[in-house]
Structure 1
Amino acid sequence: MAEATIKRVCVIGAGTMGAGIAAQIANAGVPVLLLDIAPKDGDNRNAIAEGAVKKMLKTDPAPFMGKRPAKLVETGNIEDDLGKVAECDWVVEAIIERLDIKQNLYAKLEEVRKDGTAVSSNTSTIPLEQLTDGRSDSFKRDFLITHFFNPPRYMRLIELVAGPKTNPDTLEMVREFVDRKLGKTPVDAEDSPGFIANRIGTFWIQQAVNSAFDMGMTVEEVDEIGGKPMGVPKTGIFGLIDLIGIDLMPHLMKSLTSTLPKDDWYQKIARSEPLIEEMIESGYTGRKGKGGFYTMEKGEDGKRTKMAKDLKSGEYRAAARPGLVYGSAAKGDLGKLISMKGKVGEYAWSVLGPTLSYAASIVPEATATVVGVDDAMKLGYNWKTGPFEMIDNIGAAKLVERLEADDLPVPEILKMAGDRSFYRIEDGKRQYLGTDGEYHDIERAEGVLLLEDIKLSSKPIMANGSAALWDIGDGVVALEFTGKMNALDEQVMKLIQKAIPVVKKDYKAFVVYNEGSNFSAGANLGLAMFALNIAAWSEVEKSIKGGQDAYKALKYAPFPVVSAPAGMALGGGCEICLNSDAIQSHAETYIGLVECGVGIIPGWGGCGEFISRWKDNKRHPAGPMPAVSKAFETISTATVAKSAAEAKELGFLRSDDGITMNRDRLLYDAKQRALAMVDGYTAPEKLEYRLPGPSGKAALELAVDSFHKQGKATAHDVTVAGELAYVLTGGDTDITEIVTEAEMLKLERDAFMRLIRNPKTQARIEHMLETGKPLRN
């Protein structure tokens, strides 16, 4: 495929953005050359690039998915090492946003690069036509803009801009690579100022800030109205500015006002506020500075209080919770939100009206379709819905009516839509309204399979309140968790047991997958707490036994089972993965057995399965104690892998488990993995263990006791760790005896029940439910 032709990449510019791009390329397993200028002082001419790599290894959130990818980054400097570009298939320029400096670099690149090597700029402000001015036709054929979003590892959007002379094969080669290897969603943009996301996003933030000052709003009111109710990040407006850096605002304003036409709407609203200028000058630039519109202040009692900036006085005061938005308006009904009486509706409209009008005005100038606009804002700014999806929420005709009443611009595409929606479902396919006035199917790239598309034309094979089973084609089914946070409960276990005979009879393979933000946060603690409050111990034990039975039934079913996690896969979510034949994991999977954090131990087979993983790990010492020690260390500390790559290092994934970089390709890859296992499939043999017994338990407890004496473990940590050690070492059995899987499950179940009756465990569970944070008791 096209992406295979990019085998080595050079990134020029080791600033935050360039270094982050290099890290993501290395995360994909591709060697990358990172170059920057040679420093004027010192003997190490590669110091800047080397320093960038060292810094990234300490940065949180981490640009690298583990320590191994960092070894794929070769560092150098532009003066000595530019000739190495000849060995690369793609060069990414991510240097300072100055046209003269970029053009000077391109002149040097033209002398050393081989014909066919793609060259792209990460610029977000300079037109492509200006960048390539003076370059040869050969250079122009291989040149494009690849606008990544920061941080490159975590933001899925990449805007692709091709010039009139860009070779379509070069564009396709880069598109395939950033999609399949880097996990990005490429969106085609035109060579217009700010492209798509930053143009709309900058307008939105500017309009929101202007209205806040003009209407005398507080920062808390603005963030409540302009946050979750609008379907944008829960930080709201001022919280987002604090996150990205207040000092970035004037730079964005300057770049857009200098490149946009004088009659562009943004030119009319672009303005600075004295308070904001003063904050920047005094170092209050947001989270990276002394503080921002919000800050934390420590009182005399040592407690930290969230403070908010008063936009009138410029002083900080204790942050408030306004509680102004309620009902359906608080849950994303935008029509209700902009119609609410008083300042809520007025402020919401003052932001949404102009922003949606402006977003509609840049089609097709900035991108050809409404889908491009919506994808850009959802992937680049983390909006829950894109501008045209928001317009459908309000109603295009109603929006036009209100824009006209307020004498605001009505773009042609809104007039053309009339009373039609911009998206519709037709014959089981999602369609969008084009600029030609006709509806067109939304086409998926080859290798993209989404459950949301399958749902448009089919119904589940079976479903209940917590799970559903879907036919995803070719004889494969997908189990979807559907509860809040995809939490697992008795209903999920019942559906698994019910599904197995159906799949055995009519299908070939089974995939565990969903399209929530998180695969599963684990067992439903709310239901567990309810049972504890009424002392329904038999029901709790029944739930534990039911989970064990369901997971083991799935493990030993006569068909292959592949789990496809993405996001958090914790506790029971991790355990269903461990009980699968194989795992096809999204790169951004955060998996772990976290039960000890709430005072319990894994109860659905996780203990035995995790020992088995380490016992089978050929890179790990043989014998019962090393595997038990590793399992104990990981489970007792509730360690969570921060990527799928790290999950392999921690033993949650096997060395041959698959990793998918692009989230949209995960289901397809998992399905193909399952189908590849069908021919000749036999269920695994039942596990048996040789465990170290009481002597092994004593050794593990000795380590915990040491941590307790150092103040690194609480009294209840010691209790929980003791029960975990008892299970992992096989209870009272001797190393000469075989511990069967059934016996291991009973040890796990009994220890779980002893802990769940402990008041300190119950306090931990209650605290987690109330605060979302672990209790250290």
Structure 2
Amino acid sequence: MHRRRAGDRDGAGGGGVIGKVGVIGAGLMGTGIAAQVANAGLPVVLLDIVPGAAARAVAAALKAEPAAFMHPRNAKRVEAGDLDADFGKLADCDWIIEAIIERPGAKRELYQRLEAVRKDGSIVSSNTSTIRLADLAADMPPRFAADFLITHFFNPPRYMRLLEIVAGPATRPQAVAAIRDFADRRLGKTVIDCADTPGFIANRIGALWISAATRHAIDLGLSVEEADAVAGKPFGVPKTGIFGLLDLVGIDIVPHVGDSLLASLPPDDPYRAVHRAEPLIARMIAEGRTGRKGKGGFYTLHRNGADRVKLAIDLASGEYRPAGKPRLDSLQVGAKDLRRLAEHPDRGGRYARAVLLDTLSYAASLVPDVAATVDAVDTAMRLGYNWRWGPFELIDRVGATWLAEALRADGRPVPKLLERVGEGTFYRVQDGSLQTFTPDGEYHDVVRPEGVLLLQDIKRRSRPLAKNGSASLWDIGDGVACLEFHSKGNSLDPDTMAMLGKAVAMGGKGAFRALVIHNEGQHFSVGANLGLALFAANIAAWGEIESLVEAGQKAYRALRAAPFPVVGAPSGMALGGGCEILLHCDAVQAHAESYIGLVEVGVGVIPGWGGCAGMLARLATAPALPKGPIPPVARAFEMIATARVAKSAAEAQEMLVLRPTDGITFNRDRLLADAKARALALVEGYQPPAPVTLRLPGPSGRAALDLAVHGFALQGKATPHDVVVSRFLAETLTGGPKADPLDEIPLERIYDLERRAFMTLLKQPATLARIEHMLETGKPLRN
């Protein structure tokens, strides 16, 4: 039998469980980390050296956009204090996170103080972004070194999924395992193990990319708009591009990151040759032009009377001019082909080639020194910098051979890893498994963490049970099927409804015993296909539109009455029709970052696929609401008429769009597995829900709602068409002109009322104007 040696300790607090967290440093990052821990349900002590700063930071976080807290009540879990007066409150914390100024000396002084008060087995980590662990832990006692590691969060901590972990040679494996598991399951992070090298993974590569992109744009005479267009979408970089990104994160971080890396990188590191202190950036910082947080940045908005004009800086003169649309031939031929873009002879093509060669060759030169696998590097860049493709995925897109030849043509060294992969690729699928090329010259399977089930992996090794242009049905094992949407934005159309119907029919015949509705797109569903609706309306195909509305209602109601359990598993936006699907599921297992709501009034209609009926049925039985016909109607009217969208799954539960019993998963990679488990738990003894009847207030209730809307219109809070739409919504929710609060009416009547209201509103010019405006701008028209 194994016997524990004296001094062996399990994870946090000696027991492996993290129950309380301390955060030192109430800047944006420290406060954001504290907020996310509170979001996970744990008590947090937040301390700062400036008296009162932590309390002010929590108050500011409650007003911040994007919100740091998933629900305002979570802020009550954060105990704000002063570093000197309240230092003893860290004594019972299982994990203490240091997030103070990036100065090794200041950090080490703090660690010495911590060592005197922290309990045995508590874990201490630094949120440093550039300083090596060896420099931070120098001369610290063995007890501290055993419990110390780096946990590098990315800003904002609630939304950025990457967490880089660096452990030292003395760090206890149990401590690393405890933090990795907690960060994964409770904080929703994808944890990447990094070597103890300067900048770790994402910032090491990201800093070079930023330096290369700014330097080459200046040297090649590009405008900031041209540079952002070239190094943006074609590279899989967010639409901010490079200069828009610097405005977003703060231009003043550029010299700090550069100085830190230059102080710690090896003398022959390629970053030194690419990096250049730009006089323009120094001038902008001196003038307070640090981006969105300052007096403007590379872009700014200038008010011209009632209008706001977007200005862009001239990279040569440093003066602002009106922003323009890039017009480069290279963008026309290479918008969807990165290699063609980089081969084009104009300045856009030469810019793309220069940035590609610098960035991709640098990334290839860093493996295995900064990370053991190319997959770790790609994951870090996708999640830390929001790239669509990591560096090695980009190499596969342009071709490893092409990249190597381009480097040789420029007289530049070819990284050993790039030479070793030769004419191959860094990723391949073998026997249904995703594999990556590793520094040992072999391919190895990508291994997912225990408990992670990804639809992309299932799709590599199997064929769909059924498929059309907008949706597919997959066998995910144990008798559970997954219905996946895959149209643009996962919008809903006739093909989606057809697949819903097919899934119900196949499950009814025993093809599977439970269904999960889930996809791995950016959003669960943005709702109905508005383009299709507008086209049909413009040619007056009213019969076709009404058939689609009826088909949607039929499909959703069939889903609700299916002889097997159905679990919705949303992430990202679930709007309009996407929300209505969730209202017809037996249960929902939602990603914590799910944004759910019925938003149809924004395009001049009301929910037409059972959203009104579904919300009334949900609210009529909600324990949180008073009994009677008025409270459910009033709550549904307020939510739908204002197009309110929950800003988190926790807020969706408060709105009762999700039930209190519905589950929330913090790590998106674990969502499908959690939803599948929930579906299986419902299988035994499952019975479809009984028919619902409602008591609704009828005309008297409608009159009260109309009066409220009239008041909003007088206050300027409701536009003329808002009033029209709200009246139809009020009639639907109150049960129509024949409803009586003393009588029970079947839920089917609400489906009929909302379908009729939807069709009447769709024929109005003001509604068509709203739909057209939404399609053109992505914003609602206030007409």
TM-score bracket for this pair, using the shorter chain length? over 0.9
| Among candidates 442, 446, 461, match of residue 465 of structure 2 | 461
Amino acid at match of 1:749: R
Q: Determine if the alignment matches structure 1 residue 37 to structure 2 residue 53.
A: no
Q: Distance in 1 between matches of 2:87 and 2:285?
A: 37
Q: Distance in 2 between matches of 1:476 and 1:100?
A: 56
Contact conserved, 2:699 with 2:736, CA < 8 A, in 1? yes
Deviation at 1:231, TM superposition (A): 0.9
Within a 5 Å distance, the mapping from 1:184-583 to structure 2 comes to 184-300=189-305, 302-324=306-328, 325-326=330-331, 329-331=334-336, 333-504=337-508, 505-583=510-588
Deviation at 1:224, TM superposition (A): 0.9
Deviation at 1:653, TM superposition (A): 0.6
Paired-residue identity, %: 58
Deviation at 1:84, TM superposition (A): 2.3
Contact conserved, 1:431 with 1:440, CA < 8 A, in 2? yes
Deviation at 1:2, TM superposition (A): 7.5
Q: Distance in 2 between matches of 1:612 and 1:88?
A: 44
Amino acid at match of 2:91: A
Contact conserved, 1:38 with 1:79, CA < 8 A, in 2? no
CA deviations over 1:179-214 (Å, ceiling 9, x no partner): 000001000100000001001001001011111111
Amino acid at match of 1:79: D
Deviation at 1:38, TM superposition (A): 4.7
Secondary structure, counterpart of 1:737 in structure 2: coil
Deviation at 1:328, TM superposition (A): 6.3
Q: Determine if the alignment matches structure 1 residue 614 to structure 2 residue 619.
A: yes
Secondary structure, counterpart of 1:5 in structure 2: coil
Q: Distance in 2 between matches of 1:253 and 1:292?
A: 19
Partner of 1:51: 56
Contact conserved, 2:11 with 2:175, CA < 8 A, in 1? no
| Among candidates 21, 36, 43, match of residue 9 of structure 1 | 21
Partner of 1:682: 687
Q: Distance in 2 between matches of 1:104 and 1:230?
A: 43
Partner of 1:755: 761
Q: Determine if the alignment matches structure 1 residue 158 to structure 2 residue 163.
A: yes
Contact conserved, 1:2 with 1:176, CA < 8 A, in 2? no
Partner of 2:37: 25
Q: TM-score, normalised by structure 1?
A: 0.98
Q: Determine if the alignment matches structure 1 residue 741 to structure 2 residue 747.
A: yes
Contact conserved, 1:354 with 1:408, CA < 8 A, in 2? no
Q: Distance in 2 between matches of 1:372 and 1:221?
A: 31
Q: Determine if the alignment matches structure 1 residue 712 to structure 2 residue 725.
A: no
Q: TM-score, normalised by structure 2?
A: 0.97
Superposed CA RMSD:
1.2
Contact conserved, 1:147 with 1:160, CA < 8 A, in 2? yes
Deviation at 1:298, TM superposition (A): 2.0
Amino acid at match of 2:222: M
Secondary structure, counterpart of 1:75 in structure 2: strand
Q: Distance in 1 between matches of 2:674 and 2:309?
A: 47
Contact conserved, 1:572 with 1:604, CA < 8 A, in 2? yes
Contact conserved, 2:164 with 2:193, CA < 8 A, in 1? yes
Q: Distance in 2 between matches of 1:216 and 1:656?
A: 58
Partner of 2:778: 772
Deviation at 1:36, TM superposition (A): 1.3
CA deviations over 1:476-535 (Å, ceiling 9, x no partner): 001111111000011111111112121121211001100000000000011101110111
Q: Distance in 2 between matches of 1:279 and 1:106?
A: 36
CA deviations over 1:672-700 (Å, ceiling 9, x no partner): 00000000110001111100001111111
Q: Distance in 2 between matches of 1:465 and 1:326?
A: 29
Contact conserved, 2:222 with 2:348, CA < 8 A, in 1? no
Deviation at 1:329, TM superposition (A): 2.1
Report the CA distance shift for 1:567/1:541 in structure 2 as closer, same or farther (over 3 A): same
Deviation at 1:584, TM superposition (A): 0.4
Q: Distance in 2 between matches of 1:52 and 1:297?
A: 30
Amino acid at match of 1:390: L
Report the CA distance shift for 1:326/1:265 in structure 2 as closer, same or farther (over 3 A): closer
Contact conserved, 2:491 with 2:526, CA < 8 A, in 1? yes
> Structure 1: any 5+ residue segments left out of the alignment?
40-46
CA deviations over 1:270-326 (Å, ceiling 9, x no partner): 2222222111111111111111111112224x2222111111222211111123244
Q: Distance in 1 between matches of 2:749 and 2:514?
A: 29
Contact conserved, 2:331 with 2:341, CA < 8 A, in 1? no
Q: Distance in 1 between matches of 2:352 and 2:165?
A: 32
Q: Distance in 2 between matches of 1:408 and 1:150?
A: 35
Secondary structure, counterpart of 2:302 in structure 1: strand
Partner of 2:6: none
Deviation at 1:344, TM superposition (A): 2.0
Report the CA distance shift for 1:38/1:284 in structure 2 as closer, same or farther (over 3 A): closer
Moved more, 619-628 or 682-691: 619-628
> Structure 2: any 5+ residue segments left out of the alignment?
1-9
CA deviations over 1:578-636 (Å, ceiling 9, x no partner): 01000100000110000011110000111011122222221221111011101000000
Secondary structure, counterpart of 1:80 in structure 2: coil
Q: Distance in 2 between matches of 1:427 and 1:682?
A: 40
